[in-house]
Every structure is written in structure tokens, then in C-alpha cells.
Amino acid sequence: MLSTNTRSLTLLFATSLALSIPALGFADELQFNMTEGVTSVSKEVYGLHMLIFYICCAIGVIVFGAMFYSMFMHRKSRGVEAANFHHSTSLEIVWTAIPFLILILMAIPATTTLKKIYDADDADIDILVTGYQWKWRYEYLGEDVSFFSVLKTPSTQIHNEEDKGKHYLLEVDEPLYIPINKKVRFLVTSSDVIHSWWVPPLAVKRDAIPGYTNAAWTRVEEPGVFRGQCAELCGKDHGFMPIEVHAVSESEFTAWLGKRKEEAAAIREAAKQTLTLEQLLSEGEKVYTKNCAACHQADGKGMPPTFPAIAGSPIADGERPIAEHFNRVLNGGQGMPPFGEQLTPVQAAAVITFQRNAFGNNTGDVVQPIDILKYKQGQ
Amino acid sequence: MAHGPAKGLSRWLFTTNHKDIGSMYLWFSFAMFFMGGIFALVIRAELFQPGLQIVEPDFFNQMTTMHGLVMVFGAVMPAFVGLANWMVPMMIGAPDMALPRMNNWSFWILPFAFALLASTLFMEGGAPNFGWTFYAPLSTTYASDTVTFFIFGVHIMGASSIMGAINIIATILNMRAPGMTLMKMPLFVWTWLITAYLLIAVMPVLAGVVTMMLMDIHFGTSFFDAAGGGDPVLFQHVFWFFGHPEVYIMILPAFGIVSAIIPTFARKPLFGYESMVYATASIAFLSFIVWAHHMFTVGIPLTGELVFMYATMLIAVPTGVKVFNWVTTMWKGAMTFETPMLFSIAFVILFTIGGFSGLMLAIAPADFQYHDTYFVVAHFHYVLVPGAIFSITAGVYYWLPKWSGKMYNEVMGKTHFWLAFIGLNVTFFPMHFSGLAGMPRRIPDYNPLWADWNMISSMGAFLFGAAQLLFLYNVVRTILSGKKATDQVWEGAEGLEWTVASPAPYHTFSTPPQVK
């Protein structure tokens, strides 16, 4: 019996050691702790995290130390006689009271930090963050600038046909720009299911809930690129809607915002022009790949029954009135999200034209941006 | 009076015997444990390295959902009910459960519930893919039609649990042997009594929330649809009002099991019996007022956030009392380390680690970084696998000789323990790291930053899964060809269940024993 017990205990120790070795060995390359982040709040959060962690370690050393001591010393195989005590009111009071006091001490700094996190008043800039299946939309309130931000990682990398980049699944086509040393408030909401907007280096995580607008804020102190992801399961491509925040100097930010405003004006202007079929098809294919292919697939065959085919669909092949096609793309329906907000008139016209002339849908229809504007006004 | 079981299939279909029903619950749970385990291994295989290799994202989501549902409702809960069926009457000196026919029914509707749930895997639209927490509107407006099967499955599971709970309360309160006062009951009986009250309180809430989903989906209501004046956050409040007590439903009976095993192998009475009872009751009470700590990021007002943070931190106090009592029970005992004891000691250590990460998660500002990451996955697996699964395993090794009259193979038992112990830690410890390093949960693909931790986790998971095959083999071998066990079985075991023969006769305590 002695040998089996000793062996068991030695093994237990050996295992705990073996578990800690890889952690130490990888320390240089591998991240295994929370990021300290780049804001005063994120650093406070990190401090709380380490404080409670050390408290747990200290308690763990005492409790597990007593257990292991007991397991070595109080073994039947050592010939010990079992004691018979089984009650001590004073001990019970002591080990109820001490943890209680530790918790009170812990609650004080936690409360202070929580109050800071909740103080979203007096912001310098307001950004409306809207979650969509499966992308983010950013709107600079009062600035007439808004855009969608979509995963940039090519599907060839996801399907292992190409090496994965450093920022695999953490890169977007249109990053969010914010100025440093300004209080930026994020007003977070959703247009479909619940998402959660999380950027670890900012220690900001807020659920994006349809019907709610949640406020969070940050004040970044150093320029840099900070990455995050959607943190709430939101359907098929939950793992594929990253966040990329570029914190830049105020002058750089102003220049960027100015350029964005010009682009917005150009889009309004472009909606008035008439495009050729070729222009529409080439633009439409791009829009399709970015917005439609995730569900309806690159070949237009979809994934029935959840995601119906566009090839041969009565809505797209001319069997039903074209207005139904406009309605489905712009307003969504049958589980499909609306795209009227996120596509420019040119893009909407192009993608509808493309869908009506690709995948064997040879309607020959040409839809112009002005048609989209008219349809929207008519609603 | 002496009559044995019926012959053939009718014995199992029509039985009202608590031992037969207990065995069926345990075998059912064992089968579900393997099914849920296979789902988990699909997840771990896909996450072995970055990129999509084995399954599509939607099927991945079905796997995470089904793994959670099957393990919670199919493996852990029925296993505890099975143990209660076998042990509660024998521990309190009762001849059977108070409501034997209902007992039969509450078991036999379970296979139908899980058949409904599992059948969705073969339907158009697939199995539930919205997580075991099934947050609306992902699980309502945006779910495939098969969600209705899930809803009816949950209704039936809930009905089964409620009937089981009523039966256990009725048995404990009415059928104790003369002299078995409440404060003389074994702790397993106490923890189950409290668990049963939790079940009766919250399973109807779960039934309510899935019924509201059903109404939203099929009858045009908008309980959870913001566009119709409803509230998606309401769903979470109702769900977690069920969900938090639910996690204690999965741990309180475990406390009872290890409180039976540790004194046996320390050859010393349980330390602080009364404080154990009060601590269990306090945990049960607190479980009703902490639910929103699962929702720290939904935008609850500051005051609410603080109240839920403080209440959650408080749970550490009674939980700590329990751990201290177990350690003090071991202190100055004369310990031996047979398989049930090994699993119980691992329970105390690893459950405590899960408790530590729970305390960290209670700190609301830090939770903003932990929430919905692998840190949370590590936390609840440290609580549930060593907590529920290890305690159930310990209980099976501990009582199997009494049930079957045969002794299991100790070497194989210890091998099972060490493989499971190593597998568990290799699987779940790295998840703390990947979570802190920023990996969200429930994603099928991830940045290579977290690749090493995921590869280690996946290898551990397959080791853990393989270890359970050894468990199955050991149990079957014991029943078929194990060595004869004594009536006492364990040197230090005390309690009424050890006063009857091994295997326990089909009917025990037809004449109540006198408890002094």
C-alpha cells in the first residue's frame, strides 16, 4: 500500500510541475496574460486582475499546502491513528470572517474602477457602432461620415490554400479611426442579433443589442493599431467580424475625417450619373463578393434551405417584378438582413444588375443608381 | 414479500424499483456523456490549428450548442438523479422512493426528449446553433425551424427534472427511518434536498422562457423582439434566473458525494457537518440573487452592476467554508488513496481552482476583459468537470461494489484517474491563457497567436476522452466478472447503505431500521 500511495502522490506533484514548465518555457513568444492595454482604465483593470489573482494564489498556497502536508503525513500507511475531532465553532467563524474581510478590501478598488468605466459623460467625439451579421458599421455622429467595416482576410487563407498572415482574422477593409488624448464615446447597438464590441487593449466590451444603445468610452494615450473581435455568438460568421481601431494624432484624424467627408459627397454625386452595363457588372461583382457571397456563395447556388440560390431565383431571373428584387436587397426579408443602409446607390444598382445577369440569370436588365434613389423615395 | 424483478424487457419498462430506475438513469447519463464527448471532440479537432479544416462554421456552432445541452441536461443532471434514486432511500432507511410510478415516468420521458433534440442533427436546417444559452433573437427570429424541436425537448427534460425533484423531497421528508432526524441525514441527502428545491424553483422558469420563444416564433408575440416592443435583454434575465441556480444544481449533489467519500478514506468523521448544511443552504439562497453577473456587459445601470458584483463575491464565503471543512476532515486522518478518494481529492483541488477563477470573474471591471472569452470556458469547465463529472465518477467507484456486489479493478481505476486528471488539466488549463490573451469563445477559427494553447488543449481533450473508455470497460468488467465485494466494502465507511448486503437486495429496509 505504501508504495502505491507514495507513487500516486509523487505523480501528482510531477504532473503539476510538468504543467507549469511549458508555461515558463514559452513565456517569451506566447501571450498568456491579459494585456495591460493603452488607456488608464485598461491599466486599472489589469491591476485589479493581478490583485485578485495574487489573492487567489495566496489562498491557494495555504489551502493546497495544508492538503498536501496532510496527504503526506496523515496516511494510514505511515501507521498513524485517525483523530476523532469533527467540530469547532471558533474555526468556522474564523474562516468565514477572514474571506469576508478580504472580499470587502477587494470590492473597494473594483467599485472605483467600475464607476470610471460607467462615466461616459462629456465626450469629445461620439461614434455610433452598429453590429450586423457579420460586420460593424461606424457612424461619426454630426460629421456625416459612416461606413461598414468588414473582414479583410481572404478566404484562401481561411481554407488553408495560402499561408496565414500575422493579423489573420483580425484585419478589416475599413478601420475605425480615433484621435488620441480625446474622450471618444462609443454608442453601441445592433441591427439584427446581439453582438459584442470588444477591443482588449482599450478594455472596452459592450454588447450590441437591438433596441438598446449602450455607451462605452475610451481615451487612448498613445498612437497605434488595436485589434479586437465580436465577443457574443451571433450566428454562422461570429468568428469572422473583427474590429480594428487606429488611434492617430488629432491632426491626422482631422485630415482623415476631411477625406471621408469628401468621399461621402462624391458618393452622392455618383448616384446621379448613368453607368454602362460593363461598369455595373464589374462593380456589382465586387459588391457581391464582399456582401453576398458569404451566404449565397460565389457561384450563386447558395446553401439551401437557409441561404437560397440566386441562380434561377424567381426574384432575380425576371420571373417576378423587379421591384421585388429591389425590396429584398434594400429591405431584406426571410432571414436576410437589409442592405439599403450599407450599400451606396451605385453599389446597390450594380449588385442588382450583376445578380440579374450572372449565374445564368440572363435578364439583360440594367439598373441605374437613380432607380435605387427613386425606389427608396417611393417607399 | 420476497419477490424479485420481472423478467426481460418489462422489468425495465414497467419497473417502479428505485434501484432499477437509478441504474437506468446512470446508464442513460453514461451514454449521453459519450455523445456530448464526441461533440466536444469535433470542436477540439476543428480548433487543433487555425483555419477551417474539418467542419463548417455553422456546424461548429451546432456542436458547441449540442455539447453544452447534452452534457448539462443529459449527462450531469440525470447522473445525479440516478445516484439519488439509488442512494437516498438506502441512506435514510426507506424501502423505496415515495412516488415510485412517477419515478418510472420521469425517467422514461427523458430518452424521448433527447431523441427529439438529437433528431435535429439530421434535419434540414440542422441542430440548434445558438449556444446552450440560446440568446434571443438569434434563437428566435434568426433560428432555423428545428428550434421548435429543441423547445419541446427542453419542456420534456424540465418536466422530468421537476417530477424527479418532487419525488426526492417527498421521499426525504416522509420516509426517513425512525430516529433519522434531519440533522442526522448524510450530507448527500441534505445537498439533494436543497438541490431539489432549486429544481422546483427554476425549471418552471426555463419552461417559461422557452415557451415565450415558442410564442415569438409561431404565434406572433414579441417578448424578445425589439421591433415589436419586446426586449432581448429580458430573455437573458429570465434565462439566467434559471441558469445560475442551475449551475448549483450541478454542483450541490457533488458536495454531498465527496462529503461521504473523504471521511471514509480519512477514517475520520466529516468536519463541521452543521456548517456544511448551512453553507449549502446559503449557496442555494445566494444563487437566486447573482444571475446578472452573467450579463455584466449588457449595459445594466451602475447600481445594479455593483449589487450583483457584491452578491457574487459573497458566494466565495460559504464555498470557502466547504473547502476548509474538507481539508480539515483530511487533517490528522489515517488516509488511504483508493480510486474514489483520488477523484474526491482532485475534486477539492480543481474545484477550488475553478472557484478562484469564479472569484476573478466576479470582479465586474475585470469581467469586461474576461467575459465571453476562453477564460470563462476554462472557469466553468474547471467547476463542472472536476466538480460534477469527477464527483459522479468518484461516487460510481465508491458505490459500484454495493450496487453490483463486485469489486472493480483498482489498478485500472487508478489508471483511469491519472489519465483523466492529466487530460483534464492539459485540456482546460491552457484555456485560461488563450482567454486572457484575448481569444473569444464559440469561434471555429482564430488568429495563430493562440495556436499553441489550442493545440495543447485539443491533445488533452482526446486523452481525456480515451480515459473514459477505460472507465466504461472497468465498470462493465466489474459487473460481469469482478471479484466478490464484502458487505462493508470500505473499512472506514459509515451509514445505513453499508449495513445491507452486497449487492444490495432488490428490496431493502422493508422493515425500517432504528437510527440512534
Check CB contact under 8 Å for B268 and A83.
yes
**Nearest chain A CA: its distance from B314 CA (Å):** 7
> Do A372 and A348 meet the contact criterion of CB atoms below 8 Å apart?
yes
Which residues on A lie below 8 Å from B429 (Cβ)?
19
For residue B5, the 8-state DSSP code is P
Buried b (16+ CB within 10 A) or exposed e, A187-204: bbbbbbbbbbbbbbbbbb
Check CB contact under 8 Å for B436 and A32.
yes
- B490 catalytic, yes or no? no
Phi, psi (degrees; rounded to nearest 5) at A356: -85, -5
Check CB contact under 8 Å for B125 and A198.
no
- B29 catalytic, yes or no? no
* Contact with chain B for residue A195, Cβ under 8 A: no
ipTM score for this prediction = 0.93
* Contact with chain B for residue A90, Cβ under 8 A: no
**What is the rounded average pLDDT of the residues B361-373?**
97
Local structure of A218: helix, strand or coil: strand
Q: How far, in Å, are A147, B204, B271 from residue A250 at the CA level?
A: 20, 56, 65
From the list B19, B268, B294, B379, the catalytic residue is B294
Closest C-alpha to A224, from A37, A5, A82 = A37
Interface test with B, best of A207, A225, A227, A306 (most B CBs within 10 A): A207
What average pLDDT does the structure give for chain B?
96
Task: Round to whole Å and give the CA distance between B82 and B68.
Answer: 20
Local structure of A205: helix, strand or coil: strand
- Side-chain-side CA neighbours of A337 within 13 Å: the count stands at 19
- The torsion angle over the Cα atoms of residues A257, A261, A267 and A273, rounded to 10 degrees, is -140
How much is the pLDDT for B2?
Answer: 53
Q: Is B416 inside a domain boundary?
A: no
Q: Give burial (CB, 10 Å; 0-12/13-18/19+) of B439.
A: buried
Q: How far, in Å, are B13, B96, B194, B249 from residue B99 at the CA level?
A: 16, 8, 19, 21
Local structure of A148: helix, strand or coil: strand
CATH topology of domain A271-378: Cytochrome Bc1 Complex; Chain D, domain 2 (1.10.760)
Interface test with B, best of A38, A39, A74 (most B CBs within 10 A): A74
Place of cell 474564523: A94
- B259 catalytic, yes or no? yes
The strands making up A135-140's β-sheet, listed across from edge to edge, are A145-149, A135-140, A125-132, A184-190, A214-218
Check CB contact under 8 Å for B330 and A70.
yes
Q: What angle do CA A121, A127, A129 make, to 5 degrees?
A: 115
- B293 catalytic, yes or no? yes
Which residues on B lie below 8 Å from A86 (Cβ)?
268-273, 329
Residues spanned by the domain of B52: 12-233
Closest C-alpha to B269, from B333, B201, B202, B365 = B333
> Do B375 and B429 meet the contact criterion of CB atoms below 8 Å apart?
no
Q: Is B39 inside a domain boundary?
A: yes
Q: Is B202 inside a domain boundary?
A: yes
Where are any strands of DSSP class E within B402-465? 406-407
For residue B73, the 8-state DSSP code is I
Q: With a CB-CB cutoff of 8 Å, which residues 302-361 of chain A face chain B?
A: 305-306, 335
Residue A202's contacts (CB-CB under 8 Å, 6 or more residues apart) are A37, A38, A39, A41, A42, A218, A220, A226, A228, A245
Q: Which of A181-185, A307-311, B284-288, B366-370 has the lowest mean pLDDT?
A: A307-311
Task: Write out the H or E segment, with its range, that includes residue A224.
Answer: strand A224-230
**Nearest chain B CA: its distance from A310 CA (Å):** 19
Q: How far, in Å, are A46, A244, B202, B203, B285 from residue B370 at the CA level?
A: 11, 19, 27, 28, 26
- The three cell numbers of residue A230 are 465580436
Q: Is B381 inside a domain boundary?
A: no
Check CB contact under 8 Å for B297 and A196.
yes
- B221 catalytic, yes or no? no
Per-residue pLDDT of B241-273, as tens digits, reads 999 999 999 999 999 999 999 999 999 999 999
> Helices (H) and strands (E) in chain A — how many of each?
10, 10
**What is the rounded average pLDDT of the residues B48-62?**
95
Check CB contact under 8 Å for B316 and A71.
no
Buried b (16+ CB within 10 A) or exposed e, B181-219: eeeebbbbbbbbbbbbbbbebbbebbbebbebbbebbee
Residue of B nearest to A30 (CA): B449
- B132 catalytic, yes or no? yes
Q: Which of B306, B314, B356 sits opposite A60 (nearest CB)?
A: B356
Which residues on A lie below 8 Å from B416 (Cβ)?
none
Which residues share a beta bridge with A184?
A: A125, A218
For residue B499, the 8-state DSSP code is G
Closest C-alpha to B379, from B366, B393, B398 = B366
Task: Round to whole Å and give the CA distance between A239 and B441.
Answer: 9
Percentage of chain B lying above the pLDDT 90 cut: 97
- B291 catalytic, yes or no? no
Measured in whole angstroms, how far is the alpha carbon of residue A69 from the centre of its chain?
A: 46
* Contact with chain B for residue A43, Cβ under 8 A: no
Q: What angle do CA B89, B92, B96 make, to 5 degrees?
A: 25
Helix axes of A40-73 and A2-25: crossing angle, nearest 10 degrees:
160
At B95, which CATH number?
A: 1.20.210.10
**Nearest chain B CA: its distance from A229 CA (Å):** 7
- B67 catalytic, yes or no? yes
Helix axes of B316-330 and B252-266: crossing angle, nearest 10 degrees:
20
Q: How far, in Å, are A90, A138, A186, A345 from residue A141 at the CA level?
A: 62, 9, 10, 21
Check CB contact under 8 Å for B297 and A194.
no
Task: Round to whole Å and give the CA distance between B103 and B92.
Answer: 18
The strand pair at A224-230 and B483-484 is best described as: unpaired
**What is the rounded average pLDDT of the residues B440-461?**
96
Check CB contact under 8 Å for A200 and B369.
yes
- Side-chain-side CA neighbours of B135 within 13 Å: the count stands at 22
Phi, psi (degrees; rounded to nearest 5) at B295: -130, 30
- The three cell numbers of residue B122 are 439530421
Secondary structure of chain B: what % helix, strand, coil (to 5)? 70, 0, 30
- B58 catalytic, yes or no? no
Architecture of domain A33-79+88-119: Orthogonal Bundle (1.10)
**DSSP line for B161-212:** HHHHHHHHHHHHHH-PPTT--GGGS-HHHHHHHHHHHHHHHHHHHHHHHHHH
How much is the pLDDT for A29?
Answer: 59
Residue of A nearest to B123 (CA): A305
**What is the rounded average pLDDT of the residues B38-46?**
97
Q: How many domains does chain B have?
A: 1
Which residues on A lie below 8 Å from B53 (Cβ)?
160
**Nearest chain B CA: its distance from A177 CA (Å):** 21
Tens digits of pLDDT across chain A (379 residues): 344 444 554 554 445 444 544 444 444 457 889 999 999 999 999 999 999 999 999 999 999 999 999 999 999 999 999 998 988 999 999 999 999 999 999 999 999 999 999 999 999 999 999 999 999 999 999 988 989 999 999 989 999 999 999 999 999 999 999 999 999 999 999 999 999 999 999 999 999 999 999 999 999 999 999 999 999 999 999 999 999 999 999 999 999 999 999 988 888 888 888 888 888 999 999 999 888 988 899 889 988 877 889 988 889 988 888 989 999 999 887 778 888 888 888 999 999 999 999 898 888 889 998 888 888 887 6
Closest C-alpha to B472, from B81, B26, B63, B77 = B26
How much is the pLDDT for B39?
Answer: 97
- The three cell numbers of residue B293 are 453577473
Interface test with B, best of A103, A159, A204, A303 (most B CBs within 10 A): A103
How much is the pLDDT for A269?
Answer: 83
3-class SS string, B200-249: HHHHHHHHHHHHHHHHHHHCCCCCCCHHHCCCHHHHHHHHHHHHHHHHHH
Which residues on A lie below 8 Å from B464 (Cβ)?
none
Residue A357's contacts (CB-CB under 8 Å, 6 or more residues apart) are A277, A281, A363, A364, A365
Q: Is B238 inside a domain boundary?
A: no
Which residues on A lie below 8 Å from B57 (Cβ)?
236-240
Architecture of domain A126-156+168-267: Sandwich (2.60)
Task: Write out the H or E segment, with its range, that includes residue A49.
Answer: helix A40-73
Check CB contact under 8 Å for A204 and B366.
no
How much is the pLDDT for B447?
Answer: 95
Q: Which of A4, A84, A164 sits opposite B269 (nearest CB)?
A: A84
Instruction: Return left, alpha or beta for B180; rule: phi > 0 is left, psi -120 to 50 is alpha, else beta.
Output: beta
Closest C-alpha to B431, from B385, B390, B384, B373 = B373
Q: Is B492 inside a domain boundary?
A: no
- B248 catalytic, yes or no? yes
